[in-house]
Copies of this chain bind each other. A is one copy, B any other.
Amino acid sequence: MKILIIGAAGMIGMRLARSIIKNDFNGEIHDITLFDVIPPKIENHKNSYKIKTGDISDPNIISELINQKPDIIYHLAAIVSGDAEENFEKGWDINAKGTWHLLEGIRKKFLTSNGSYKPKFIYASSLAVFSGPYPSAINDDFSPNPETSYGAQKLVGEILINEYSRKGFLDGVALRLPTIVVRPGKPNKAASSFYSSIIREPLNGIEAILPVPENLCHWFASPLSAIRFLRHAAKLDFKKLGNRRSLNLPGVSCSISDQILALEEIAGTKTSKLIKKIPDKKIEDIVNNWPQNFMADRAIELGFVADKDFKDIIQIYINEEINT
């Protein structure tokens, strides 16, 4: 079985690649291609994967990738939210048209192979397809209504995946991932960055800034769960999805005060006191419009499993990033 990971240099892409290489390479999976604008670096295992670099807004690159006939294609590549909002054309070119090129490349291969080539296509979508006002818990029938360019681009991708799947050109699923915490590394410019910082920095003995009120709730998953979601999707019988290829994934709904409490229980008040409240109205306004809670019934029924609670999410960070 051949696997192609598009966006393999990102935080999730690299973890996914590592997980597949470490656990399954040379078993069922004998060919792994990692694709991104910059070459992904996976420690060790140098002979277990191929690397390709390029831009998915270039149809020639797409042809090259699809000509290898990967059986499973993970599409995780995207211009991030802030960049897509600032750079309208770039965001639409890469996040929406890039995805479309990719699907078109697959469709053409499907047609020239007389339907013998029909890969699984696993797409990382986002909670950014939604906007408020929200019900107390968002169910599987709640309408997306993006209020960011990134969210609109992801939603166009979802509709195309649904359509190309329904027409039988490929077998796709769009996974609306919860916000992934705790991300390792430095804070970035994403509005959600503080959600990782307020846990990560204190655990490393550094002060962190909390820019929003403590009662704000949001929907989370650990990087480990994100990888489990993506790998579970590869094993899923997509017939069970019918013509509804977008899935709200299960997660942990948690207020910031509960997050701080969880941190305190794990690492003590000395650690949690490193969180400094410095309100930032701009970030508060953005985060206020994010989903707080879901009833992800369909995904749960399909076997996707969330983290147990926020303490679990913190513990995963400690195990993966501190105790190694």
Contacts and interface: CB of A to CB of B under 8 A. Distances in A.
A47 interface: no
Contacts of A88: 167
A140 B146 CA distance: 15
Nearest to A140: B143
Contact of A163 (B131, B146, B163): B146
Contact of A142 (B143, B155, B156, B243): B143
A140 B145 CA distance: 11
A166 interface: yes
Given A143-B142, A243-B131, A149 B167 contact: yes
Interface in A136-170: 140-147, 149, 152, 155-156, 159-160, 162-163, 166-167
A152 B147 contact: no
A228 interface: no
A244 interface: yes
A165 to B, nearest CB: 11
Given A145-B246, A146-B163, A152-B162, 12 more contacts: A135-B141, A140-B143, A141-B143, A142-B143, A143-B143, A145-B162, A145-B244, A146-B162, A147-B166, A147-B243, A156-B156, A159-B159
Listed from nearest, the 3 A-B pairs whose CB atoms lie closest are A143-B143, A152-B163, A147-B243
B163 A149 contact: yes
Nearest to A149: B163
Interface in A292-319: none
25 contacts: A88-B167, A131-B243, A135-B141, A141-B142, A141-B143, A142-B143, A143-B143, A143-B144, A145-B162, A145-B243, A145-B244, A146-B159, A146-B163, A147-B166, A147-B243, A149-B163, A149-B167, A152-B159, A152-B160, A152-B162, A152-B163, A155-B159, A156-B159, A156-B160, A159-B159
